[in-house]
Amino acid sequence: MKLDGVRAATFGAFVIPKTLNGQFCPLRRFCTGLPRSPASTLSEVIQHLQPTESDWDSEKLRGLIFADANPSSSSQIFNIAHRLGSSRKAWTFFQWIRANTENAQFVSRAFQAAAEVAGEEPNSSDVLVQLHGFLKESNLKLSASAVAVLGRSLKRAGMVDELCNVYSEIDPSLRSSQLCNHVIDGLLAGGRMSDARKMLDEMLKPDAEAVPNQYTADMVFGWALRSEDFWKHFVGSEIICLVKEFGRHGVFLNSFKLTKLIGKLCRSGKILVARDVLREVIEMGGCVEAAPCNTLLAAMDRKGMVREVNALMCVMKERGVQPNVVTFGIIINHLCKARRVDQALEVFDKLKNSGDNDVKVSVKPDVIIYNTLIDGLCKVGRVDDGCSLMNEMKCVPTTSTFNCLIDGFCKAGEIDRGLELFERMRVDGVSPNVITLNTLVDGLCRHERIGAAMEIFHEMQRTGLKADAVTYTTLITSFCNVGNVEAARELFDRMIDSGCKPDAIVYQAYLSGLTLCGKMAEASSVAAKMKEAGFSLDLASYNVLIGGFCRRKKIDEAYETLKEMERAGVKPDSVTYNTLISCFSKLGDFETAGIIMSRMSQEGLVPNVVTYGAVIHAFCESDRLDEAVKIFERMRVPPNTVIYNILIDGHCKTGNIETAASLMNEMRAGNLRPTTNTYNSLFKAFMEEQRLDKALNLMDQMIEDGCNPDLVTMKILSDWLSCAGESDRLRRFVQAFAVPASTG
């Protein structure tokens, strides 16, 4: 009991903490004298604020919140407002702070917290309106950061008008860069481009207090990349000025954003604007990497802007922009497309040897660069050099590598070497693709090796490689060209059965082949199937059908096709009218041919040499030379060699040799060279009239013109001159052209 008395005397009114078993705890007795931790204070304040405002113990709260007036107290107020769980409670807490302290920093932090919570919470516009009202009516000066947070929350809530009002109502000293950014962002989001631009112009002024920062640039150019409406208010030159103004404030886009902007400008056809934007960034000291340069180089290369590509490469070198493997790939591709393959190889050697004395590179050529070079070599006919380069590759050749070489050999006519490479692909384990198949099939068909093409086709099908529309088009066209309609039909049916839907090109190829072979009933059936498949017949398809019907003298069908063509909204062209005029002229129906020619003129289509040639030829064939001459004299276009030859032959056949000879002189005066047919017509006429002197003079003219005789020429002259005792003259004529005289 004495000990308890001592304890009581020593600790006075302190309650002596005891353990559960009633023993004294010497450590715990000092806890009550220690300062409270911020965390425990925060928790206790939150607990006191959970009831409604009317139940708050203001005196207790003042003791907890305002006990220490140190700098951390304002942060504690901010944290309390955030922990309350709703914008409405945060607003109520702000009002309580404002009513219970004159500390501007405390009020400002509570305001900022309420604004931030409201911005993160949906449907909090009423709280934001109340905060705006307080800001407008109160004389209390808030911090710029608090106002900026309100601006951000108003922007997030889409309350752009209120945001603009906040900006205009507050003291100018509170108009921070952060607040201006939120105003511009809100205006852009609301589609108010003109207002956003005015605000941005204010920020970019040299004497502006709220200067642009990285966020400003990223935001503005971010909108430029996302919104097409942006470009209606900023033309190319203004984008350049915008980049320049940001640069004067030391603000530049990062490499990713700059690359995206350059790409956007290039895709919009503003390549020169993109060039100037990049140049401004480089000249103003912005950090430029290879990526934006590569984007611009590629766009310039696609447009064939050789001078600009060279200039940009020089700028990169002067400014120390380190190229990467993509840069070298673009440069090599650019040189190869310009057929400057030797220069491309020089660039490649620099890359392969890790640079020269001027530029050091730390990249190695990849398979794309090798393929680009090999393709370039093949396109200039240096296929063997391409093969050598493939053998030197430090990486594994791909299907594209082989495709380039196979295509090169096929175009050079060395089909067998292309087939050898195809075999090597299989040995090396490189899988061919449909491009490989199409390249070989096309090469073989062009050299009339359709059987070998079909063997490749069947072999690839057995390996599981499916042919595409290009494959079938090539084969169908080739079979139609040699008149094998049955094989073309089988391929067309097989194409449909294999699940490869014919496209318009396949239908047109098949249609054209059938009409050339005179299979008009089947051609009409294919045209119907084409329409059922959803493809409209175009002008070329209608012309093919009309031409086919005319060649078979099926005038009614040709006329019906013409009417269908017009109903489908496809206007006939010169080819259509010329085909019909030629057809009716050959049938001797010159009246209808004249009507069609008149209609052609009414449609605004001027008859051309083909039109006149068809009519003139038909009149001559019908022994109506006078009518042919009248048409010739009324021609509204200069006649060509074909028309002159038709008339010269017509005059020669009717014995008008002098007129025929004068037409030949007229040809020369019109810079048209007489052809072998011209001379043959006159030689025949002179022989029939036994005018040897004229024939001998004509032979001299033929030698002077360098017009090679053909078998018809030699037949006429050999028979005639041998009998006329002019064998020596004939021999000299033959020697002048180095052709054997034929008497057969």
Tell me which residue range forms the domain holding 673.
Answer: 664-743
Check: CB of residue 636 under 8 Å from CB of residue 630. no
Domain boundary, last residue among 531, 558, 592:
531
Per-residue pLDDT tens over the stretch 451-488: 999 999 999 889 888 899 899 989 998 988 888 888 98
In a domain, 113, yes or no: yes
Instruction: Give me the long-range contacts of 254-260 (CB less than 8 A, separation at least 24).
Output: 255/287, 255/288, 255/289, 255/291, 255/292, 256/291, 257/218, 257/221, 257/222, 257/225, 258/286, 258/288, 258/291, 258/292, 259/291, 259/292, 259/295, 260/225
Are residue 271 and residue 175 in the same domain, yes or no? no
Mean pLDDT, residues 597-614 taken together:
86
pLDDT surpassing 60 at residue 29: no
Are residue 173 and residue 86 in the same domain, yes or no? yes
Specify the residue for token string 């204010």: 202
Are residue 125 and residue 178 in the same domain, yes or no? yes
Q: For residues 516 and 422, which has the higher predicted lDDT (pLDDT)?
A: 422
Q: For residues 687 and 353, which has the higher predicted lDDT (pLDDT)?
A: 687
Per-residue pLDDT tens over the stretch 51-76: 777 778 778 777 777 766 555 567 87
DSSP state of 84: T
In a domain, 653, yes or no: no
From 1-15, 111-125, 246-260, 534-548, the region with the lowest mean pLDDT? 1-15
Per-residue pLDDT tens over the stretch 385-442: 999 999 988 889 999 999 999 999 999 989 999 999 999 998 999 999 999 999 999 9
Check: CB of residue 480 under 8 Å from CB of residue 492. no
From the number of C-beta atoms within 10 Å of its C-beta (0-12, 13-18, 19+), residue 337 rates as: middle
Residue 694: CB atoms within 10 A of its CB come to 17
pLDDT surpassing 80 at residue 148: yes
Strands (E), 263-380: none
Output the domain CATH number for residue 613.
1.25.40.10
According to the per-residue pLDDT averaged within each range, which of 95-99, 233-237, 571-575 is highest? 571-575
d(CA 316, CA 337): 21
Identity of the residue numbered 135: L
Q: 334: which residues sit within 8 A by CB, 6+ positions away?
A: 297, 301, 306, 309
Residue % of the chain over a pLDDT of 70? 91
- Give the pLDDT score at 20: 40
Domain boundary, last residue among 381, 412, 443:
412
Q: Label residue 5 by pLDDT band (50, 70, 90).
A: very low
Check: CB of residue 252 under 8 Å from CB of residue 246. yes
Check: CB of residue 380 under 8 Å from CB of residue 411. no
Are residue 94 and residue 174 in the same domain, yes or no? yes
Are residue 330 and residue 297 in the same domain, yes or no? no
Domain boundary, last residue among 152, 182, 212:
182
In a domain, 608, yes or no: yes
Check: CB of residue 404 under 8 Å from CB of residue 378. yes
Residue 318: CB atoms within 10 A of its CB come to 9
As a three-state string, the secondary structure of 34-60 is CCCCHHHHHHHHHHHHCCCHHHCCHHH
pTM of the predicted model over 0.75: no
pLDDT surpassing 80 at residue 271: yes
Are residue 81 and residue 163 in the same domain, yes or no? yes
- Give the pLDDT score at 434: 94
Are residue 149 and residue 256 in the same domain, yes or no? no
d(CA 164, CA 132): 11
Check: CB of residue 680 under 8 Å from CB of residue 716. yes
Q: 377: which residues sit within 8 A by CB, 6+ positions away?
A: 341, 383, 385, 386, 389, 408
- Give the pLDDT score at 456: 92
Q: Is the dihedral of CA 427, 432, 436, 438 positive or negative?
A: positive
In a domain, 408, yes or no: yes
In a domain, 290, yes or no: yes
Q: Which residue in 443, 422, 423, 502 sits closest to 467, CA to CA?
A: 502
pLDDT surpassing 50 at residue 597: yes
In a domain, 283, yes or no: yes
Q: Which residue in 610, 550, 623 sits closest to 584, CA to CA?
A: 550
Are residue 311 and residue 331 in the same domain, yes or no? no
d(CA 412, CA 311): 35
Q: 675: which residues sit within 8 A by CB, 6+ positions away?
A: 641, 645, 707
In a domain, 143, yes or no: yes
Q: For residues 164 and 236, which has the higher predicted lDDT (pLDDT)?
A: 164
Q: Decide: helix, strand or coil at residue 355.
A: strand
Q: How many domains does the chain have?
A: 6
Mean pLDDT, residues 21-36 taken together:
42
Looking at every residue in the chain, the average pLDDT score rounds to: 84
Are residue 566 and residue 610 in the same domain, yes or no? yes
Are residue 602 and residue 701 in the same domain, yes or no? no
Are residue 633 and residue 675 in the same domain, yes or no? no
Q: Label residue 675 by pLDDT band (50, 70, 90).
A: very high
In a domain, 243, yes or no: yes
Check: CB of residue 113 under 8 Å from CB of residue 77. yes
Query: 640-668 burial by CB neighbour count: b if 16+ within 10 A, else e?
Result: bbbbbbbbbbbbbbeebbebbbebbeebe
Are residue 448 and residue 395 in the same domain, yes or no? no
Per-residue pLDDT tens over the stretch 100-134: 888 888 888 888 888 888 888 888 888 888 888 88
